[in-house]
Amino acid sequence: MARLLIVDDEPNMRRILSVILRDAGHSVAEAAGVREAERALKADVYDLVITDQKMGDGEGLDLLKSVVASDPSVPVIMMTAFASVDLAVRAMRQGAFDFITKPFQPEVISAAVVRALEHGGLLRENLRLKEEIGDAESQLVGGSAAIKTVREQIAKVAPTSVTILITGETGTGKELIARAIHARSPRARGPFIAVNCASLQESLLESELFGHEKGAFTGADKARRGLFEAADGGTLFLDEAGEMSLALQAKLLRVLMDQQVTRVGATASNKVDVRVLFATHRDLKQRVAEGLFREDLFYRVNVVPIHIAALREHRDDIPALVNHLMTAVARDLKLPPRKISDAAVAKLQGYGFPGNVRELRNLIERAYVLSSGVEIGPEDFLLGNSAPATGNLASVPHRVDLRQTLGDFEIALIKRALADASGVQAEAARLLGLSRSDLAYKLKKFGLAE
């Protein structure tokens, strides 16, 4: 059911059109002139506007300009009892979808409405796809060779049906790459469904992927289609695919080979048309050697590998990433734009980021919310050692008291924050990303309270 706005200063014409279009199953609102129509368009969303040209308080062409300027995906049908070639040309040039002369037969306006709604739907879909492509690719920020290579690979593989294996450390943006591939593929109008294989137990993951029949197991009170069926015509992204059990890998291999899914507890299979994209932070070759990943599945998955470098391997991209994430965080948190100092960016650029881009965003979110200055500075980022975490393991004894070691490290961080805050506990809590009560508890716990 579409929502239509009829604009005409003749009550009888509005009534006739409303009856015709409501009988066709549409929701119809009416306006007696240009001004009333403009108020209606500001107050509600419509899929189509049908407007007369000559009205007491203005012309339909003026309303047409207003609609096109505010939302070009809303088609406009112009009507007039004083038709001329010049008027028709002007209306079409200014963006009208159709131009109808009064009086008209009901089937004429009905057919025009059907065509206009189809056209509007296509426009909105195209805009959505462009936004998805732009949003996914705009987040591939940076000019380093590593990022340029990934962009080039996406452009090459997206139009194809080839299977992709996306590798990289946790937090590097593997799902972002998968979404960019989907958005630029012929399947872009289909669904994109992502599942983290490491987050579900084997039995739950099997049901999630393949679906189940009623009574297949305890609690299965009704049949349920799985993600393969839900992603039919689109893309299924299996994140951390290296964590799947061997039994589940065997079932997945069968689906990839046959493009048929058998629900848990079912005997018949359902045909599916799904492109599967895989991602993992694991070395799958090593997993194969250890007997934890099927070799035949590995070769079917690893047709075209795309590797995303760790953030510490392309630090030159950090300033551009920081600027991008500052804008994104302000938008997502609905906060006013903030600036970040060059010194703060330099501090971030010197950090190892074991959590990669995800950790960078978290740090910026925390600083954005907790910092009180006009500009976010280096003091607003409490970072660990600037080298990667594994870089210092050689100096750590093989036998350690983990609880004592972590406690000592926590005490050192608290003491440093208190020193940086000149002993002001509220400021120290802010630097540590803690609440005032949490810091007070830790001070008492470690015997640091005065």
Residues 186-224: pLDDT tens digits? Answer: 998 899 999 999 888 887 899 999 999 888 887 788 888
> Could you tell me the CA-to-CA distances from 343 to 319, 347, 348, 375, 380 in Å, in that order?
11, 6, 9, 11, 11
Question: What is the residue-wise DSSP string for 147-209?
Answer: HHHHHHHHHHHTTS---EEEE--TTS-HHHHHHHHHHTSTTTTS-EEEEEGGGS-HHHHHHHH
Between CA 206 and CA 143 the distance in angstroms is: 40
User: DSSP assignment, residue 104?
Assistant: -
Per-residue confidence (pLDDT) for residue 192, from 0 to 100: 92
Residues 225-271: pLDDT tens digits? Answer: 899 999 999 999 999 999 999 999 999 999 999 999 999 988 888 99
Between CA 265 and CA 221 the distance in angstroms is: 12
Which residues, at least 6 apart from 354, have a Cβ–Cβ distance to it below 8 Å? Answer: 384, 388, 389
Neighbour-count burial of 390, counting CB atoms closer than 10 A to its CB (0-12 exposed, 13-18 middle, 19+ buried): exposed
- End-to-end, the C-alpha distance of the chain in Å comes to 69
Per-residue confidence (pLDDT) for residue 233, from 0 to 100: 93
What is the pLDDT confidence band of residue 385, given thresholds at 50, 70 and 90?
very low
Residues 274-332: pLDDT tens digits? Answer: 999 999 999 999 999 999 999 999 999 999 999 999 999 999 999 999 998 998 888 88
Most confident of the ranges 232-236, 399-403, 405-409: 232-236
* pLDDT value at 115 more than 50: yes
Per-residue confidence (pLDDT) for residue 345, from 0 to 100: 94
Contact 294, 253 (CB under 8 A): yes
The amino acid at 333: L
Give the closest residue to 348 by CA, choosing from 324, 392, 381, 326.
Answer: 381
Q: Which two tokens stand for residue 301?
A: 């998955």
The amino acid at 276: V
The amino acid at 438: D
Per-residue confidence (pLDDT) for residue 400, from 0 to 100: 58
Give the closest residue to 322 by CA, choosing from 279, 364, 290.
Answer: 364
Cβ of 204: how many Cβ atoms within 10 Å?
Answer: 10
Between CA 357 and CA 182 the distance in angstroms is: 21
Cβ of 42: how many Cβ atoms within 10 Å?
Answer: 9
What is the pLDDT confidence band of residue 377, given thresholds at 50, 70 and 90?
very high
CATH of domain 316-396: 1.10.8.60
Across the chain, mean pLDDT equals 86
Between CA 173 and CA 275 the distance in angstroms is: 19
Give the closest residue to 385 by CA, choosing from 439, 312, 443.
Answer: 312
Between CA 227 and CA 195 the distance in angstroms is: 9
Burial 55-77 (b: 16+ CB within 10 A, else e): beebbbbbbbebbbeebebbbbb
Residues 24-58: pLDDT tens digits? Answer: 999 999 999 999 999 999 888 899 999 999 999 99
CA-based max dimension of the chain: 93
With both helix axes pointing from N to C terminus, report the angle between 106-138 and 11-23 in degrees, rounded to the nearest 10: 70
Enumerate the domain spans of the chain. Answer: 3-126, 139-307, 316-396, 397-450
Pick the CATH number of 397-450 from 1.10.10.60, 3.30.2090.10, 3.20.20.80, 3.30.565.10: 1.10.10.60
* pLDDT value at 23 more than 80: yes
Cβ of 197: how many Cβ atoms within 10 Å?
Answer: 22
Residue 156 CA, distance from chain mean position: 22
Q: Which of 6-15, 130-139, 425-434 has the lowest mean pLDDT?
A: 130-139
Please count the residues of the chain.
Answer: 450
* pLDDT value at 150 more than 90: yes
Return the percentage of the chain with pLDDT > 70, whole number.
91
* pLDDT value at 409 more than 70: yes
Between CA 159 and CA 241 the distance in angstroms is: 23
Which residues, at least 6 apart from 406, have a Cβ–Cβ distance to it below 8 Å? Answer: none
Q: Do domains 3-126 and 139-307 have the same CATH topology?
A: yes
Whether residue 305 has a cis bond before it, omega within 30° of 0:
no
The domain 139-307 having CATH identifier 3.40.50.300: the answer here is yes
CATH of domain 3-126: 3.40.50.2300
Span 51-77, mean pLDDT? 91
Per-residue confidence (pLDDT) for residue 387, from 0 to 100: 39
Between CA 279 and CA 345 the distance in angstroms is: 30
Span 399-403, mean pLDDT? 64
Q: What is the pTM of this model?
A: 0.58
* pLDDT value at 14 more than 90: yes
